[in-house]
Amino acid sequence: MAPPTSMWSLSSTTFSPHFAKLKTSTYADTARPTPLHNVRTLAWNVTGKKIATGAADRTLRVWDPERPKTQDSTELRGHQGPIERVAFSPASDTELATCSADGLLRIWDLRKNTPAVVSDLKLRGEPFTLAWKPNGDDLLVGMKNDTFAVVSRSTTKVVATHKQDVQSNQTVFGWAGKHIFVTTGDGRVKIMRYPSFELIHELNAHTSSCYTLCMSPTGKYLAVGGGDALISLWDTEEWICVRTFDDMTGPVRSVDFSFDGSFVVGGSDEGNRLSIAHTETGEYVHHIDTTHPAPCVQWHPNRYALAYSADTQGLKIVGGITPS
């Protein structure tokens, strides 16, 4: 399913005046006010009309960005461990995949008033990353034992496993679905063919562990976040690092591009602000002060709205509620 038409792009000089006017809304889970209710994963659906959050206290919730009250959200129950990752299908705005420390991969159907589990899969390992193939046919699940499981969406069965020789963290697909990019514990990014997992190139990206990465919507750049508190930006034609962004306090746990690829932001579990940079110039154009570190960040898929985790406060979205 294609997302709706995106808004126009802003320049590096006009972004901050526009973004500073947007309201920040808090989506606090008043039904689960526990010390462990810190959002550890979040994801927009392809249209930007829903956003899912998963917490350490096993709470899994789907929000309407226009309605920040808990009673207007939907809680998805059943996981027996902390929620490790949530990911909406790129081919359906009502299909959500989740994985938990309980070893379960679940796929949910959100079309009905009472969401239903489409399928469960018990994995041989503890899953902590999810990546959908761009056409929605496969899910790539990363386990903490550094094994990847390829799961067919049509059968919800593991069709292949690939053990890695190094600590493997987050994975993303190239937009054509023919390559995968994997961050590693030794500071590299592996580029492999899919589905063979044949290694074709490696980026010596950071001086410490690479934790997170994101492909720009245009496919022009790959952003990589590391334990050295840097975000590196890589040209996907020549595979050279064109610039780094250094306004982070601690290890970069998430990184994301705006819908047009013009701006990039990173999240960390240290520090009290988010810094938004212009991709082409490397200039920092806007800062968001936060009361707590925000390790999870993600841009809205078709406009300038930014979601981020806010410790026990739950979820915050800048520009989540559109002006009437």
For residue range 211-224, list pLDDT tens digits in order. 999 999 999 999 99
Distances (CA, A) of 283 to 11, 13, 212, 232, 264: 11, 10, 21, 14, 10
CA distance 44 to 58: 19
Asked whether 138 and 151 are in contact (CB, 8 A), the reply is yes
CA distance 152 to 125: 17
Judged on CB neighbours under 10 Å (0-12, 13-18, 19+), 49 is: middle
State the average pLDDT over residues 188-198: 98
4 belongs to a structural domain: no
9 belongs to a structural domain: no
With the C-alpha atoms ordered 297, 303, 304, 310, is the resulting torsion angle positive or negative?
Answer: negative
pLDDT digit string, tens, across residues 44-56: 999 999 999 999 9
171 belongs to a structural domain: yes
Q: For the stretch 131-156, what's the b/e string if a residue is b when 16 or more beta carbons lie within 10 angstroms of its beta carbon?
A: bbbbebebbbbbbeebbbbbbebeeb
SS3 199: strand
**pLDDT: is 54 or 5 the higher one?**
54
7 belongs to a structural domain: no
Cis link prior to 195 (omega < 30° from 0)? Answer: yes
As beta bridge partners, residue 234 has: 222, 241
pLDDT of residue 34: 64
24-38, 65-79, 289-303: which has the minimum mean pLDDT? 24-38
Stated pTM of the model: 0.95
pLDDT of residue 102: 96
The two tokens of residue 285 are: 């154009």
Distances (CA, A) of 321 to 57, 67, 257: 27, 8, 20
Taken as a whole, the chain contains a residue count of: 324
User: What's the chain's average pLDDT?
Assistant: 94
Residue keyed to tokens 């193939």: 133
Q: Please check the confidence at residue 322 and state whether its pLDDT lies above 90.
A: no
Could you give the number of structural domains in the chain? 1
Q: What are phi and psi of 307, to 5 degrees?
A: -100, 140
Reported confidence tier of residue 117, pLDDT bands at 50, 70, 90 = very high
Asked whether 260 and 277 are in contact (CB, 8 A), the reply is no
Q: Please check the confidence at residue 277 and state whether its pLDDT lies above 60.
A: yes
pLDDT of residue 4: 45
86 belongs to a structural domain: yes
2 belongs to a structural domain: no
Q: Please check the confidence at residue 263 and state whether its pLDDT lies above 50.
A: yes
Reported confidence tier of residue 275, pLDDT bands at 50, 70, 90 = very high
pLDDT digit string, tens, across residues 222-250: 999 999 999 999 999 999 999 999 999 99
CA distance 59 to 81: 9
25 belongs to a structural domain: yes
Reported confidence tier of residue 35, pLDDT bands at 50, 70, 90 = low
* CATH assignment at residue 144: 2.130.10.10
With the C-alpha atoms ordered 188, 193, 197, 199, is the resulting torsion angle positive or negative?
Answer: negative
State the average pLDDT over residues 108-127: 91
Residue 16: closest CA among 273, 286, 260? 286
pLDDT of residue 6: 56
| Domain carrying residue 181 | 16-318
pLDDT of residue 159: 98
CA distance 175 to 72: 34
323 belongs to a structural domain: no
As beta bridge partners, residue 168 has: 184
pLDDT of residue 120: 95
Q: Please check the confidence at residue 8 and state whether its pLDDT lies above 90.
A: no
pLDDT of residue 1: 37
